[in-house]
Amino acid sequence: MLKQRIITALWLAPLALMGFFALQGAAFTAFIGLIVALAGWEWARLAGYDTQAQRVAYAAFVAVTLLLLNATDALLVPLLYLAGLWWLTAIAMVISFPNSIAFWGGNLGKRVIGLIIIIPAGLGLLVLKNLPQGNLLILSVMLLVWGADIGAYFFGRAFGKRKMVPRVSPGKSWAGLLGGLFTSLCIAAALAVYLHVPSAQMPWLLVAAAVVVLFSVVGDLTESMFKRQMGIKDSSQLLPGHGGVLDRIDSLTAAVPVFALLLLVTGWTLP
Protein backbone atom coordinates (compact mmCIF):
# COMPACT_ATOMS: atom_id res chain seq x y z
CA MET A 1 0.00 0.00 0.00
CA LEU A 2 2.79 2.45 0.88
CA LYS A 3 4.55 1.73 -2.42
CA GLN A 4 1.32 2.39 -4.31
CA ARG A 5 0.77 5.66 -2.45
CA ILE A 6 4.29 6.84 -3.25
CA ILE A 7 4.06 5.91 -6.94
CA THR A 8 0.69 7.61 -7.30
CA ALA A 9 1.93 10.73 -5.49
CA LEU A 10 4.98 10.95 -7.79
CA TRP A 11 2.81 11.40 -10.88
CA LEU A 12 -0.26 12.96 -9.29
CA ALA A 13 1.48 15.85 -7.49
CA PRO A 14 3.22 17.38 -10.56
CA LEU A 15 0.09 16.81 -12.68
CA ALA A 16 -2.09 18.59 -10.13
CA LEU A 17 0.39 21.44 -9.69
CA MET A 18 0.62 21.97 -13.44
CA GLY A 19 -3.16 21.85 -13.83
CA PHE A 20 -3.96 24.28 -11.03
CA PHE A 21 -1.14 26.76 -11.51
CA ALA A 22 0.28 26.50 -15.05
CA LEU A 23 -2.90 26.28 -17.08
CA GLN A 24 -4.82 29.41 -17.99
CA GLY A 25 -8.07 30.35 -19.67
CA ALA A 26 -9.90 27.62 -21.54
CA ALA A 27 -7.26 25.03 -20.64
CA PHE A 28 -7.81 25.64 -16.92
CA THR A 29 -11.58 25.50 -17.38
CA ALA A 30 -11.22 22.16 -19.17
CA PHE A 31 -8.97 20.89 -16.37
CA ILE A 32 -11.55 21.80 -13.71
CA GLY A 33 -14.25 20.28 -15.91
CA LEU A 34 -12.32 17.02 -15.93
CA ILE A 35 -11.95 17.04 -12.14
CA VAL A 36 -15.65 17.64 -11.53
CA ALA A 37 -16.52 14.96 -14.10
CA LEU A 38 -14.38 12.42 -12.25
CA ALA A 39 -15.87 13.53 -8.94
CA GLY A 40 -19.33 13.23 -10.46
CA TRP A 41 -18.59 9.73 -11.68
CA GLU A 42 -17.59 8.74 -8.16
CA TRP A 43 -20.57 10.48 -6.57
CA ALA A 44 -22.91 8.60 -8.91
CA ARG A 45 -21.93 5.44 -7.07
CA LEU A 46 -22.78 7.03 -3.72
CA ALA A 47 -26.09 8.19 -5.21
CA GLY A 48 -27.20 4.70 -6.17
CA TYR A 49 -26.38 4.53 -9.88
CA ASP A 50 -25.51 0.91 -10.55
CA THR A 51 -24.39 0.79 -14.17
CA GLN A 52 -21.31 2.33 -15.74
CA ALA A 53 -23.45 4.07 -18.36
CA GLN A 54 -25.51 5.80 -15.66
CA ARG A 55 -22.40 6.94 -13.84
CA VAL A 56 -20.79 8.30 -17.00
CA ALA A 57 -24.01 10.13 -17.90
CA TYR A 58 -24.16 11.72 -14.44
CA ALA A 59 -20.49 12.72 -14.69
CA ALA A 60 -21.08 14.30 -18.10
CA PHE A 61 -24.12 16.17 -16.76
CA VAL A 62 -22.06 17.57 -13.88
CA ALA A 63 -19.28 18.76 -16.20
CA VAL A 64 -21.60 20.28 -18.81
CA THR A 65 -23.64 22.05 -16.12
CA LEU A 66 -20.45 23.51 -14.66
CA LEU A 67 -19.37 24.87 -18.03
CA LEU A 68 -22.80 26.36 -18.77
CA LEU A 69 -23.04 28.02 -15.36
CA ASN A 70 -19.51 29.35 -15.64
CA ALA A 71 -20.59 31.22 -18.77
CA THR A 72 -23.39 32.95 -16.85
CA ASP A 73 -21.76 35.49 -14.54
CA ALA A 74 -25.03 36.56 -12.92
CA LEU A 75 -25.49 33.13 -11.33
CA LEU A 76 -22.05 32.72 -9.81
CA VAL A 77 -22.61 34.52 -6.52
CA PRO A 78 -26.12 33.05 -5.94
CA LEU A 79 -24.71 29.57 -6.53
CA LEU A 80 -21.93 30.20 -4.03
CA TYR A 81 -24.56 31.35 -1.52
CA LEU A 82 -26.48 28.15 -2.24
CA ALA A 83 -23.33 26.15 -1.53
CA GLY A 84 -22.83 28.00 1.75
CA LEU A 85 -26.43 27.25 2.75
CA TRP A 86 -25.93 23.60 1.89
CA TRP A 87 -22.78 23.32 4.01
CA LEU A 88 -24.60 24.83 6.99
CA THR A 89 -27.30 22.20 6.49
CA ALA A 90 -24.62 19.51 6.18
CA ILE A 91 -23.41 20.32 9.70
CA ALA A 92 -26.79 19.30 11.10
CA MET A 93 -26.84 16.19 8.91
CA VAL A 94 -23.42 15.06 10.07
CA ILE A 95 -24.19 15.65 13.74
CA SER A 96 -27.50 13.77 13.56
CA PHE A 97 -26.27 10.87 11.40
CA PRO A 98 -27.63 8.21 10.91
CA ASN A 99 -31.00 9.76 11.78
CA SER A 100 -30.44 12.35 9.06
CA ILE A 101 -30.63 9.66 6.37
CA ALA A 102 -34.41 9.97 6.53
CA PHE A 103 -34.13 13.56 5.27
CA TRP A 104 -31.79 12.93 2.34
CA GLY A 105 -34.58 12.18 -0.12
CA GLY A 106 -33.28 8.76 -1.10
CA ASN A 107 -31.09 8.31 -4.18
CA LEU A 108 -32.74 11.22 -5.99
CA GLY A 109 -31.90 13.50 -3.09
CA LYS A 110 -28.31 12.30 -3.07
CA ARG A 111 -28.02 13.01 -6.79
CA VAL A 112 -29.14 16.59 -6.23
CA ILE A 113 -26.83 16.92 -3.24
CA GLY A 114 -23.95 15.77 -5.42
CA LEU A 115 -24.61 18.65 -7.81
CA ILE A 116 -24.70 21.14 -4.93
CA ILE A 117 -21.41 19.82 -3.59
CA ILE A 118 -19.36 19.36 -6.74
CA ILE A 119 -20.46 22.15 -9.10
CA PRO A 120 -20.00 25.16 -6.74
CA ALA A 121 -16.55 23.81 -5.82
CA GLY A 122 -15.58 23.83 -9.48
CA LEU A 123 -17.12 27.27 -9.98
CA GLY A 124 -15.26 28.53 -6.92
CA LEU A 125 -11.93 27.49 -8.41
CA LEU A 126 -12.80 29.19 -11.70
CA VAL A 127 -13.79 32.35 -9.82
CA LEU A 128 -10.52 32.36 -7.85
CA LYS A 129 -8.47 31.79 -10.99
CA ASN A 130 -10.01 34.85 -12.65
CA LEU A 131 -9.35 37.16 -9.70
CA PRO A 132 -6.12 39.18 -9.48
CA GLN A 133 -3.30 36.88 -8.30
CA GLY A 134 -5.63 33.91 -8.81
CA ASN A 135 -2.88 31.32 -8.47
CA LEU A 136 -1.86 32.71 -5.10
CA LEU A 137 -5.47 32.64 -3.91
CA ILE A 138 -5.86 29.01 -4.96
CA LEU A 139 -2.57 28.15 -3.28
CA SER A 140 -3.69 29.96 -0.12
CA VAL A 141 -6.92 27.99 0.29
CA MET A 142 -5.07 24.74 -0.42
CA LEU A 143 -2.42 25.57 2.18
CA LEU A 144 -5.14 26.25 4.75
CA VAL A 145 -6.80 22.90 4.05
CA TRP A 146 -3.53 20.96 3.94
CA GLY A 147 -2.40 22.65 7.15
CA ALA A 148 -5.66 21.65 8.83
CA ASP A 149 -5.24 18.04 7.70
CA ILE A 150 -1.62 17.84 8.87
CA GLY A 151 -2.30 19.55 12.19
CA ALA A 152 -5.36 17.39 12.83
CA TYR A 153 -3.33 14.24 12.18
CA PHE A 154 -0.52 15.03 14.62
CA PHE A 155 -2.61 16.68 17.34
CA GLY A 156 -5.22 13.95 17.01
CA ARG A 157 -2.65 11.21 17.44
CA ALA A 158 -1.12 12.93 20.44
CA PHE A 159 -4.22 14.14 22.26
CA GLY A 160 -7.24 12.79 20.45
CA LYS A 161 -9.22 11.01 23.15
CA ARG A 162 -12.59 12.74 22.69
CA LYS A 163 -14.11 11.88 19.32
CA MET A 164 -16.11 14.42 17.34
CA VAL A 165 -18.67 12.33 15.45
CA PRO A 166 -17.66 8.68 15.85
CA ARG A 167 -20.70 7.43 13.92
CA VAL A 168 -19.42 9.29 10.85
CA SER A 169 -15.63 9.26 11.24
CA PRO A 170 -14.28 7.35 14.25
CA GLY A 171 -10.76 8.70 13.77
CA LYS A 172 -11.55 12.41 14.06
CA SER A 173 -11.22 14.03 17.46
CA TRP A 174 -11.80 17.46 19.00
CA ALA A 175 -8.09 17.74 19.67
CA GLY A 176 -7.44 17.09 15.99
CA LEU A 177 -9.93 19.78 15.01
CA LEU A 178 -8.35 22.36 17.30
CA GLY A 179 -4.83 21.34 16.29
CA GLY A 180 -5.69 21.59 12.62
CA LEU A 181 -7.30 24.98 13.14
CA PHE A 182 -4.25 26.22 15.06
CA THR A 183 -1.91 25.01 12.31
CA SER A 184 -3.95 26.69 9.59
CA LEU A 185 -4.15 29.97 11.47
CA CYS A 186 -0.38 29.94 11.82
CA ILE A 187 -0.13 29.46 8.06
CA ALA A 188 -2.63 32.27 7.46
CA ALA A 189 -0.66 34.61 9.73
CA ALA A 190 2.59 33.72 7.97
CA LEU A 191 1.02 34.36 4.56
CA ALA A 192 -0.35 37.70 5.79
CA VAL A 193 3.10 38.77 6.98
CA TYR A 194 4.71 37.60 3.74
CA LEU A 195 2.15 39.50 1.67
CA HIS A 196 2.40 42.64 3.86
CA VAL A 197 -1.27 42.58 4.83
CA PRO A 198 -2.01 45.70 6.98
CA SER A 199 -2.10 44.87 10.67
CA ALA A 200 -5.63 46.29 10.97
CA GLN A 201 -6.85 43.59 8.57
CA MET A 202 -5.10 40.74 10.35
CA PRO A 203 -7.91 39.85 12.82
CA TRP A 204 -10.48 39.71 10.03
CA LEU A 205 -8.19 37.63 7.87
CA LEU A 206 -7.70 35.12 10.68
CA VAL A 207 -11.46 34.94 11.30
CA ALA A 208 -12.05 34.31 7.60
CA ALA A 209 -9.32 31.64 7.57
CA ALA A 210 -10.93 29.93 10.57
CA VAL A 211 -14.32 29.91 8.84
CA VAL A 212 -12.83 28.36 5.70
CA VAL A 213 -10.97 25.72 7.72
CA LEU A 214 -14.02 24.76 9.78
CA PHE A 215 -16.09 24.35 6.63
CA SER A 216 -13.32 22.22 5.13
CA VAL A 217 -13.78 19.83 8.05
CA VAL A 218 -17.51 19.72 7.32
CA GLY A 219 -16.71 18.84 3.70
CA ASP A 220 -14.51 15.97 4.81
CA LEU A 221 -17.10 14.68 7.28
CA THR A 222 -19.93 14.98 4.78
CA GLU A 223 -18.28 12.71 2.24
CA SER A 224 -17.42 10.29 5.04
CA MET A 225 -21.09 10.30 6.05
CA PHE A 226 -22.31 9.32 2.59
CA LYS A 227 -19.60 6.67 2.23
CA ARG A 228 -20.49 5.21 5.63
CA GLN A 229 -24.14 5.03 4.63
CA MET A 230 -23.08 3.07 1.53
CA GLY A 231 -20.67 0.89 3.53
CA ILE A 232 -17.57 1.80 1.49
CA LYS A 233 -14.16 3.14 2.50
CA ASP A 234 -13.10 5.00 -0.67
CA SER A 235 -15.11 6.82 -3.33
CA SER A 236 -13.25 4.82 -6.00
CA GLN A 237 -9.84 3.35 -6.79
CA LEU A 238 -8.90 5.87 -9.47
CA LEU A 239 -5.83 6.89 -7.47
CA PRO A 240 -4.14 3.67 -6.28
CA GLY A 241 -3.25 3.91 -2.61
CA HIS A 242 -5.16 7.18 -2.25
CA GLY A 243 -8.73 6.16 -3.04
CA GLY A 244 -10.67 8.40 -5.39
CA VAL A 245 -10.77 12.00 -6.54
CA LEU A 246 -13.49 12.83 -4.02
CA ASP A 247 -11.32 11.42 -1.25
CA ARG A 248 -8.61 13.93 -2.20
CA ILE A 249 -10.84 16.98 -2.63
CA ASP A 250 -13.62 16.40 -0.06
CA SER A 251 -12.35 19.20 2.20
CA LEU A 252 -11.90 21.53 -0.77
CA THR A 253 -15.49 21.02 -1.96
CA ALA A 254 -16.59 23.07 1.04
CA ALA A 255 -13.54 25.28 1.57
CA VAL A 256 -13.26 26.60 -1.98
CA PRO A 257 -16.80 27.97 -2.48
CA VAL A 258 -16.81 29.46 1.03
CA PHE A 259 -13.41 31.07 0.40
CA ALA A 260 -14.53 32.44 -2.98
CA LEU A 261 -17.80 33.73 -1.51
CA LEU A 262 -15.98 35.54 1.31
CA LEU A 263 -13.68 37.23 -1.21
CA LEU A 264 -16.52 38.31 -3.49
CA VAL A 265 -18.77 39.55 -0.70
CA THR A 266 -16.08 41.50 1.15
CA GLY A 267 -14.27 42.69 -1.97
CA TRP A 268 -10.97 41.88 -0.27
CA THR A 269 -7.95 41.49 -2.51
CA LEU A 270 -4.32 40.63 -1.96
CA PRO A 271 -1.98 43.61 -1.48
- Condensed to tens digits (0 to 9), the pLDDT of residues 64-73 reads 999 999 988 8
- Condensed to tens digits (0 to 9), the pLDDT of residues 15-53 reads 888 999 999 999 999 999 999 999 999 999 999 999 999
- For residue 14, pLDDT over 90 is answered with no
Q: How confident is the model at residue 3 (pLDDT cuts 50, 70, 90)?
A: low
CA–CA gap between residue 129 and residue 37 (Å, rounded): 19
Distance of CA 20 to the CA centre of its chain: 14
- Condensed to tens digits (0 to 9), the pLDDT of residues 242-269 reads 788 999 999 999 999 999 999 988 887 7
CA–CA gap between residue 124 and residue 57 (Å, rounded): 23
**Is the pTM above the cut of 0.85?**
yes
Give the Å distances, CA to CA, from 231 to 225, 226, 234.
10, 9, 10
What are the helix (H) ranges across the chain? Answer: 2-17, 25-46, 52-70, 76-96, 106-130, 134-159, 174-194, 202-230, 245-266
- Concatenating the DSSP letter of every residue in 169-222 gives -TT-BHHHHHHHHHHHHHHHHHHHHHTT--GGGHHHHHHHHHHHHHHHHHHHHH
Q: How confident is the model at residue 142 (pLDDT cuts 50, 70, 90)?
A: very high
Instruction: Classify residue 22 by its DSSP letter.
Output: I
Average the pLDDT over 74-92 and give the result: 93
CA–CA gap between residue 21 and residue 143 (Å, rounded): 14
